[in-house]
Structure 1
Amino acid sequence: MATTTLTTLAEFEKAARQKTSEFAWSYVSRPGKDGQTHTDNRQAFKRYRLIPRNLRDVYIRDTSVTILGTKLDFPIAIAPTATHRLLHPDAESATARGAASMNTAMVLSSWSEHSLEKVAAAAPRGVRWFYLLFYRDRGRMKRLLVRAERAGYTAIVLTADQPFFTFSFRKVPSTLPMPLWFPNIYLEDVPPGALGSLELADYFKKTIKEAATWEDVEWVRKNTRLPVVLKGILSVEDAKMAVRLGIDAVLVSNHGGRQLDGGPATIDVLTNIVRAVGGEAEVYLDGGVRTGTDVLKALALGARCVFIGRPALWGLACNGAEGVQQVLQILKDELNLTMARSGCAKISDIQPSLVVHESYYLYRQMLHLPRNGNNMIPKSKY
């Protein structure tokens, strides 16, 4: 199916599945454990209902937004994800070009298969942030921070919700359609071992610091001139701690449901995090965003921008940079239309009053149910 005929993210997901190897699709789609959190990320958006304001002048809409001082054409950016070459030979460079063509941001993963300098050269006018791992050797971290600054990256992203990594790469096929390597992690150009090998797993164990702490986050903030974004925040306490340490933005995320299964959907905790930071840091969200309506709901509940992970990879698998651009264009167009139908001409018009949780209606219905002699709501016979 030609990508020009694809009009929704659901269609891109189906088309990408047909184009992608079994191993690659399994890796990209894998939820954590039973997939409860992964599934709930999507379903939770449906629990919020829109209350539109009508008869407003929405003939012209402006979807632009400013995040960390940079103006984007719309508040939808690309989250850090690993090993894009599994989906397209141009890997992260193609993803960066797709994002740049839409004037939105991309977070480059440390697990990318193109170096941060190569990705910068592929999309020199793009808005790029760098996702930095915590290393045992802080000298290496400092060198990576300097490299990111020199290459034009405008923010550093740290992940808070991944205390341990799975370095075994289980179920890696004996032969892959292309070699995989991680130039932002290796010190040398030659990988220390094949993907799935004990040598490579041992290298990662000795190099990457697992179970990082707030002290590591504070060290990064003090050792870079770039804004710092903390990704993986779900609790009010962690949000307040991030603010106390001077973090510039928090990304409400549960890692796409790939880490701790059984946690809440990100949209369900968003308002608590927004309230906790009290305007002292920008708040973003990822997890389960599949339509422009989802985007508007997240913005109404306090997110300044949303990030997508898997959908960008579906576009990449279908048609490289152009596929990424098409996925972003679909979301932008859907957001634009949803804004018009909700009475919003610009992003600042999207207010909390536009959204209500479905439990509000359930509660009102219960209040008006007939009661028995004990003043109790009768149980349904079903």
Structure 2
Amino acid sequence: MATIREPLVRIPASLVSVADYERLAPEFIEPATLAYIAGGSGNEQSLRANIEDVARLRIRNRLLVDSAHGHTRLSLLAHSLAHPVLLAPIGHQGLVHRDGEVAVAQGAAATDTALVTSTQATRRLEDIAAATDGPKWFQLYFQPRKEHTLALVRRAEAAGYTALVVTLDTPVQPLSRRAQRAGFRIPSDCLPASLAEFSEQTRPPSALAGVFDGLMAAAPGWQDLDWLMGQTRLPVIVKGVLDVEDAAKCQRRGVSGLVLSNHGGRALDGVPSAISVLPEIRARLGKTYPLLIDGGIRSGYDVFKALACGANAVLVGRPQIYALAVAGALGVAHMLKLLRDELEVCMALSGTPTLADIGALSLAPDLQLTNLGYH
């Protein structure tokens, strides 16, 4: 078995893309852990769709556009952001680096990047917040007992998080076949630090109890979302939306924004990618309603495509884990710089000097092979 390398302290000249971090990841992550990170649920149809649907889109280049005053700034939920790339909430980051989510927060701080901290983080939410003075949101899973959910909300408010991102698409977490085959188990030193004070008896029932009698018995409903919004002044964003009717229902109930997501292909397998449903949801909810997406974002060109389809911003998931494993906070910062640099190049060459200039016309029409005489 190959020896797992320590994180790099310098970025080699050969590391020039987000894909390079994924390519190097097996040298820095234990095989079973890598299977857990890289894998998706079921037959991994949705995992593949995330990449394929983004890759299928083509960008329209434009000539002689004045881009002298171009920039990537935006306003999102009344906050000014330097660019439209956020770090998605990913739990158990201590699996790949000793400093875990704190190192990710340091990388975010170095690149003016907004951070979304996971309920499942291996570092306390307060310690993660203290590691960055940049924008930060807290991703919340409803706990089986409301007082525990409320305790997390109050801690997030006190720590300086400025929005709550409520994940609703995984009341049951499907098992990854890759992880099962690799024999992966989350080690005891990588459990969620912010949940440590909650006793085992109040955590969700084991899947051994059966789906409907076990996990789904404690699953939240619309009334719980309404309750949560009544408990905080922070904007509440719902993550995990793919259905246009669910999206409209969230908007009507006063949800401040949505993250369109299939959980990185780790929730219900066979559902569409976020980018494929984005245009329909944008059309239904209007031009000004905040919509973010995740899944399949691997370059600045992918960020551009998501914005052209109607997103205000994107979240990157697995790339931050690979970058963290390869080079710690430095790797996360470098990965984010690569995304931002590529986005700026793409904007310049497509004649869209600001994010407001990016739209549906920034994408080329689908190539119809039949028009070229192919069948």
1:56 is aligned, of 41, 48, 65, to 65
Q: CA deviation at 1:70?
A: 1.4
User: In structure 2, what is the Cα distance between the partners aligned to 1:313 and 1:3?
Assistant: 16
User: In structure 2, what is the Cα distance between the partners aligned to 1:25 and 1:83?
Assistant: 12
The TM-score with structure 2 as length reference comes to 0.88
Q: CA deviation at 1:74?
A: 0.9
Establish whether residue 222 from structure 1 lines up as the match of residue 242 from structure 2.
Answer: no
- 1:38-58, CA deviations, whole angstroms, 9 ceiling, x for partnerless residues? 111111112211122211112
User: In structure 2, what is the Cα distance between the partners aligned to 1:103 and 1:135?
Assistant: 31
1:35 is aligned, of 27, 34, 44, to 44
1:185 is aligned, of 178, 195, 199, to 195
- 1:174-206, CA deviations, whole angstroms, 9 ceiling, x for partnerless residues? 895x72221222225xx859xxxx99999xx99
User: RMSD in angstroms over aligned alpha carbons?
Assistant: 2.7
Q: CA deviation at 1:136?
A: 2.3
Establish whether residue 213 from structure 1 lines up as the match of residue 221 from structure 2.
Answer: yes
2:280 corresponds to: 272
1:372 corresponds to: none
Query: Aligned AA for 1:340?
Result: A
User: In structure 1, what is the Cα distance between the partners aligned to 2:249 and 2:140?
Assistant: 20
2:3 corresponds to: none
Does the aligned pair in 2 maintain the 1:97–1:126 contact within 8 Å? no
User: In structure 1, what is the Cα distance between the partners aligned to 2:40 and 2:144?
Assistant: 28
Establish whether residue 235 from structure 1 lines up as the match of residue 243 from structure 2.
Answer: yes
Give % identity: 34
User: In structure 1, what is the Cα distance between the partners aligned to 2:167 and 2:25?
Assistant: 27
Q: CA deviation at 1:319?
A: 1.0
Does the aligned pair in 1 maintain the 2:61–2:350 contact within 8 Å? yes
SS of corresponding position for 1:290: coil
Report how many aligned residue pairs link the two structures. 357
2:267 corresponds to: 259
Q: How does 1:72-111 map to 2 (within 5 A)?
A: 72-111=81-120
1:332 is aligned, of 340, 358, 365, to 340
Q: How does 1:1-382 map to 2 (within 5 A)?
A: 3-5=11-13, 6-123=15-132, 125-165=133-173, 179-187=189-197, 192=200, 210-279=218-287, 281-358=289-366, 361-362=367-368, 366=370, 380=375
Question: Higher mean Cα deviation, 238-247 or 13-22?
Answer: 13-22
User: In structure 1, what is the Cα distance between the partners aligned to 2:64 and 2:186?
Assistant: 60
SS of corresponding position for 2:193: coil
SS of corresponding position for 1:17: helix
SS of corresponding position for 2:189: coil
- With over 3 angstroms needed to count, the CA separation of the structure-2 counterparts of 1:209 and 1:340, relative to structure 1, is farther
Query: Aligned AA for 2:339?
Result: L
Does the aligned pair in 2 maintain the 1:19–1:318 contact within 8 Å? yes
User: In structure 2, what is the Cα distance between the partners aligned to 1:54 and 1:320?
Assistant: 40
- 1:91-122, CA deviations, whole angstroms, 9 ceiling, x for partnerless residues? 00111111111111111111001111111122
Query: Aligned AA for 2:165?
Result: V
User: In structure 1, what is the Cα distance between the partners aligned to 2:52 and 2:69?
Assistant: 31
Does the aligned pair in 2 maintain the 1:3–1:318 contact within 8 Å? no
Does the aligned pair in 2 maintain the 1:115–1:184 contact within 8 Å? yes
Does the aligned pair in 1 maintain the 2:41–2:175 contact within 8 Å? no
Q: CA deviation at 1:277?
A: 1.4
SS of corresponding position for 2:331: helix
Query: Aligned AA for 2:80?
Result: K
SS of corresponding position for 2:23: helix
User: In structure 1, what is the Cα distance between the partners aligned to 2:190 and 2:310?
Assistant: 39
SS of corresponding position for 1:50: coil
SS of corresponding position for 2:61: coil
Where in structure 1 are there 5+ consecutive unaligned residues?
370-378
Query: Aligned AA for 2:250?
Result: A
User: In structure 2, what is the Cα distance between the partners aligned to 1:104 and 1:350?
Assistant: 20
Question: Higher mean Cα deviation, 46-55 or 148-157?
Answer: 46-55
Question: Higher mean Cα deviation, 294-303 or 349-358?
Answer: 349-358
Q: CA deviation at 1:32?
A: 1.3
- With over 3 angstroms needed to count, the CA separation of the structure-2 counterparts of 1:240 and 1:173, relative to structure 1, is closer
- With over 3 angstroms needed to count, the CA separation of the structure-2 counterparts of 1:126 and 1:179, relative to structure 1, is same
Q: CA deviation at 1:272?
A: 0.8
- With over 3 angstroms needed to count, the CA separation of the structure-2 counterparts of 1:353 and 1:368, relative to structure 1, is same
The TM-score with structure 1 as length reference comes to 0.86
User: In structure 1, what is the Cα distance between the partners aligned to 2:126 and 2:186?
Assistant: 28
- With over 3 angstroms needed to count, the CA separation of the structure-2 counterparts of 1:199 and 1:305, relative to structure 1, is closer
User: In structure 2, what is the Cα distance between the partners aligned to 1:166 and 1:38?
Assistant: 13
Where in structure 2 are there 5+ consecutive unaligned residues?
1-7
SS of corresponding position for 2:315: strand
